[in-house]
Amino acid sequence: MFKFIKVFPALLWLIGAIGVIGDSSDTKVNVTFPSSVDAGKFFDVEVEIEKGDLADFARFIQKLPNGLHATPIETNNAAFYFTKGEVRFIWMKLPSANKFSVKYRVHVNSKLKGSFDVNGGFYYLTTDKKRDSKLLDSSVINIIPDPNQPLASLVDIKDFGIDNNIYEINNATLGLACIRQKPSLNSDGSYNVNIVVNRGNMTGFSKVVEFIPEGYTIEPIDVKGATFQFKNQEAKFLWKILPLESQFVISYKVIPEYENINEPQIQGKYSYIDKNATISYSINEKNINLLEASPKEIEFALAKVRKDNIAVGNDSNQSSILAINSNHSVQNNIVKQKAIGNKVASKKNFLASKNMLIAEKGLYYRVQIAASRIPINIEKTFSKLHLNKDVKYEKNDGWYKYSVGSFPVYRDVKRYRDYLWTEKGKTDAFVTAYSNGKRITIQEALIASHHEWIK
């Protein structure tokens, strides 16, 4: 059920939403923004939320016309997005404080004139898990034209399109891009690596992954609030919420494990979550000293990278999902198996396509119940468990791994794992996590989904 909030204009500031009478959750939303703005400059919008008895998922959405561009100032643990003219603050779990605020900045194109409407709403789940919302009344903001712009060059904001050649918002400072400084050699034979991240308007879950060649290990130097991991020659910097700075530098040290080793050739990528899909960009390496270069030099380098930046795509590493070739050389081989009730069978039969794990979109969890170096007969091996979910297999790290279920919520997969422990005697079953078909760590999944870890 939608509830409409009456908005009353003030002399200099407009209140986007004030109080609600008769709502059982006692939720109130106040939005403040100016009644007039200057073209070519920016203004700040503050949203105050009194959540009442709300605790879980919620969104605040504000719609802006073309010619305006929003960047975050204070997110209060929300993921911030600005896409297709919509400002979105998204909470998987609301802050613990009853009253809190978020703030964002709106950049106004210097060629604009006229006036525009602002509207939006606060959307949430009630304590009984029903969807509800508080809509903001539309309010009008006037644009004061830039006196330095010729009158003939001004465009009414209602006629301004995103494809206009006069779109002057500095995407060089707003767009996402990363540069790795060419590793610098230290006197002890180690290398320092610096990476500048221009996060654009991203604030939620993000990660930098660096692929370190064999023969090297690494130590973090400055992680800028990230959770750091190094495993299987992959260095991961994981952020639940990105630093507030629009541009920041992380650094680490690459240490050789033996003498006379070649200079490390490092590859890497920057990834973020957008609508449950993982989008990745390659990290470009440049011969630039990021710690000594001027802001203008760094921005110029970032602008060149951004111009050529092409998304690697969603991070669905299809090689992690086993695709069986019907002409595989081992299809007629007879192998010895230890599977229950089945001592001899062909690999081709074991690897029936119907049992192959197919990549799903987004982030999800499964429960792994077994692993083997050689394939086993799924039907005969697991039939005695009388599972209510199909067993699927994948080839990962040289193992055939067998898992069940597909759960978008960590709490649900944890319950199913406990069920296998207590009811089926599978005390070695454990939870696994996936992003678009690629295995990720449970920690990465929990950070990305804002789910709580449960022992």
151 plus 193 within the same structural domain: no
Q: Which of 406, 399, 398 is nearest to 367 (CA)?
A: 406
Considering 166, 183, 202, which residue would you say is the last residue of a domain? 166
Long-range Cβ contacts of 9-16 (<8 Å, 24+ apart): 9/35, 9/139, 10/35, 11/35, 14/139, 14/141, 16/47, 16/118, 16/120, 16/136, 16/137, 16/139
190 plus 325 within the same structural domain: no
Residue 356 belongs to what domain range?
320-449
Q: Tell me if residue 438 falls in helix, strand or coil.
A: strand
Determine the pLDDT at residue 350. 52
Does 454 fall in a domain? no
Which tokens is 199 given? Answer: 């996060």
According to DSSP H, which parts of 371-441 are helical?
378-382, 410-423
Q: Which of 355, 323, 319, 324 is nearest to 436 (CA)?
A: 319
Q: Which of 374, 331, 325, 324 is nearest to 349 (CA)?
A: 331
* Max CA pair span of the chain: 86
149 plus 209 within the same structural domain: no
Q: Give pLDDT < 50 ranges for the chain.
A: 1-24, 162-174, 310-349
Tell me the C-alpha distance between 395 and 149, whole Å: 62
The vertex-12 CA angle with 6 and 17, nearest 5°, equals: 20
The vertex-414 CA angle with 318 and 77, nearest 5°, equals: 80
pTM of the model as a whole: 0.43
147 plus 196 within the same structural domain: no
CATH code for position 371: 3.30.70.1070
Does 150 fall in a domain? yes
66 plus 189 within the same structural domain: no
156 plus 183 within the same structural domain: no
223 plus 287 within the same structural domain: yes
Determine the pLDDT at residue 314. 43
Which tokens is 281 given? Answer: 């960009």
Does 63 fall in a domain? yes
Determine the pLDDT at residue 192. 94
9 plus 157 within the same structural domain: yes
Radius of gyration of the chain (CA): 27
Q: Which of 169, 181, 177 is nearest to 247 (CA)?
A: 177
Considering 121, 142, 166, which residue would you say is the last residue of a domain? 166
Does 105 fall in a domain? yes
17 plus 146 within the same structural domain: yes
CATH code for position 182: 2.60.40.290
CATH code for position 61: 2.60.40.680
Please state the domain count of the chain.
3
Considering 109, 136, 166, which residue would you say is the last residue of a domain? 166
The vertex-327 CA angle with 326 and 333, nearest 5°, equals: 95
Does 386 fall in a domain? yes
Tell me the C-alpha distance between 403 and 351, whole Å: 14
147 plus 290 within the same structural domain: no
100 plus 182 within the same structural domain: no
Which tokens is 123 given? Answer: 């959307």
Q: Tell me if residue 172 falls in helix, strand or coil.
A: helix
Does 325 fall in a domain? yes
32 plus 8 within the same structural domain: yes
Determine the pLDDT at residue 380. 84
